[in-house]
With several copies, the nearest count.
Chain A
Amino acid sequence: MIMRKGWRPVLVLILLLIIWQVLVPLFEVPEWLLPTPYQIGVEAINSWPNYSGHLFATIRLSILGFLIGSSIGLGVAIILHLVPKLRETFYPLLILSQNIPIIVLAPLLVIWFGFGLLPKLIIIILVCFFPITIAALDGFRQTSGELLHYMKMAGADRRQIFWKLEWPHAMPSIFSGLKIAATYSVMGAVISEWLGAQEGIGVYMTLASSSFRTTQVFVAILLIMCLSMLFFAAIVLLEKRVIRWKTSGGGNSNG
């Protein structure tokens, strides 16, 4: 499915790359400012041994962070949804959590947790959990009144209403949140590596950038983008597997 439909964006991407490749020499943009896709490609292939370690470190970090972050995000959403009082109380605090700048958090995290995995994970989690929580909460709330009435009349307790009605109903919203979170998780990992790490794309990029090697910086971006796309695609695939019933309905609204 994805394979078959994938040619279109790939085409546009290739087109964009070609335009880029042509425009850069045309406007005499120097390589240190904006290398051409060809130069980036060559560099990407040649320096594979240099960055492969960094790449795998970032992959591990972001997958771990995403998994923990989205579990926490879902958990928080569920708890806040099931206990309206908690929700009223903590919902505004959630928003606050998104507004602690990393620049301030960074020294505190490092001072409290050292240079290990934990402070980095905390940053990715902080980035990932928010879109999921918001999306899931909204999904839980928007169940159809008619179905809710039936469930209640049938004697479903709060847990049953949640698991049999609200949870499956919120699935599309949750996946929407997961997609956003997956996209952010890679960036989150890279940012967290600026916190002080020995390896990772973030480190690779900072080093490249500080020795003015723009082409390598772009290789790093390329890696980040590919990773995010992979993560996103994985979520889309999962969504297709999980939400099977919506074959008709709004999906094919080719009216």
Chain B
Amino acid sequence: MAELAIEQLTKSFDGTEVLKALSLNIADDEFVAVLGPSGSGKSTLFHLIGGLYEPDTGTILLGGENIKGQKGSVSYMPQSPSLLPWRTVLDNVLLGAEIAGHKDQQAAIQMMEKAGLAGYEQSYPHQLSGGMKQRAAFIRSLLSPQPLILLDEPFSALDEFTRSEMQKWLLDIWQHNKRSILFVTHNIEEALFLADRILVLSEKPARVVAEFKVGFARPRAEDITLTEEFLQYKKDIYKVLKKGTGE
């Protein structure tokens, strides 16, 4: 069970509030995107869910269980690739699964191929380009077995095509092998194309200022991005974001 329920989460660093009474819910197998200005507290929210920090106040329930300060209950892709420099790319990609205790080398090799990393299995991270590192980190999170996946700007360093391929692949995986996904992005179209629901965060201290249910049918075809409805969503979200940032 992977319903996430966050209530009244507050967190400050050195006296500055970063999250203030933030509440959100993710249903089982739901795909939720988070938008918000840079520095608003999105990564911090992920760190709290992942148990890296304890919130000052508030509760975090995963499948009804309190996971406050409890690590290992989510699969996580950090904003910076964070690959271990002494491991080959293949070993890096397997790290998340290794930690959780399920290691499937075959699946990893296949996934690397899909992500355009075939031939780099035995390379070291410093031999990869920025986007390739990001894809490796992405695969690493997909190979981790936890039912809730947190993705922090997973495709920011990818070109449009690679990005759209990765998006489709992610949807594919998600549809075949249902898990809940929380997805930070700065790209409104990406959020619309992928998510069931979009949460917009305010500037620091972050709260949820708006929520959009995205009604497109699944599986989604690429051409929905050209529909009127899509553009309308985009404009609405843009407006909310603008207000949030302009304040």
Contact = CB atoms under 8 A, between A and B. Distances in A.
Mutual binders A and B: yes
20 contacts: A146-B78, A147-B84, A150-B78, A150-B82, A151-B99, A152-B71, A153-B50, A153-B51, A153-B74, A154-B72, A154-B76, A154-B99, A154-B144, A155-B72, A155-B100, A155-B146, A243-B86, A245-B87, A245-B126, A248-B126
A160 interface: yes
B47 interface: yes
Contacts of A243: 86
B52 A165 contact: no
A128 B182 CA distance: 51
Given A145-B126, A248-B126, A255-B71, A153 B76 contact: yes
B79 to A, nearest CB: 10
Contacts of A240: none
What 3 pairs across the A-B complex have the smallest Cβ distances?
A: A155-B72, A153-B50, A150-B82
Interface residues of B, number: 28
Contact of A150 (B76, B87, B100, B126): B76
B52 A149 contact: yes
B96 A154 contact: yes
Given A164-B99, A245-B124, A152 B82 contact: no
B42 to A, nearest CB: 14
A149 B99 CA distance: 14
B98 interface: yes
Contacts, number: 71
Given A155-B73, A155-B100, 4 more contacts: A149-B52, A152-B71, A168-B86, A168-B87
A168 B126 contact: no
Interface in B42-83: 46-47, 50-52, 71-76, 78, 80, 82
> Which of A164, A169, A248 has most chain B Cβ within 10 Å?
A164
B14 to A, nearest CB: 10
A149 B82 contact: yes
B215 interface: no
A125 to B, nearest CB: 29
B108 to A, nearest CB: 15
A171 B82 contact: no
Given A145-B126, A153-B52, A164-B95, A171 B86 contact: yes
A249 interface: yes
Interface residues of A, number: 25
Interface of A: 145-147, 149-157, 160, 164-165, 168-169, 171, 243, 245-249, 255
A164 B98 contact: yes
Contacts of B124: 245, 247
Nearest to A160: B99
B116 interface: no
Contacts of B96: 154
Contacts of B50: 152-153
B39 interface: no
A169 B51 CA distance: 23
B64 to A, nearest CB: 19
Contacts of A248: 126-127
A249 B127 CA distance: 11
A146 B137 CA distance: 13
Contacts of A145: 126
B132 to A, nearest CB: 15
Contacts of B46: 153
Contact of B71 (A153, A164, A171, A245): A153
A255 B144 CA distance: 20
A160 B101 CA distance: 11
B173 to A, nearest CB: 18
A145 B52 CA distance: 12
Interface in B73-130: 73-76, 78, 80, 82, 84-87, 95-96, 98-100, 124, 126-127
A153 to B, nearest CB: 4
Contact of B82 (A147, A155, A245): A147
A149 B84 contact: no
A156 to B, nearest CB: 5
Contacts of A150: 76, 78, 82
Contacts of B85: 245-246
Contacts of A160: 99
Contact of B99 (A146, A155, A168, A249): A155
Contacts of B80: 146
Nearest to A247: B124
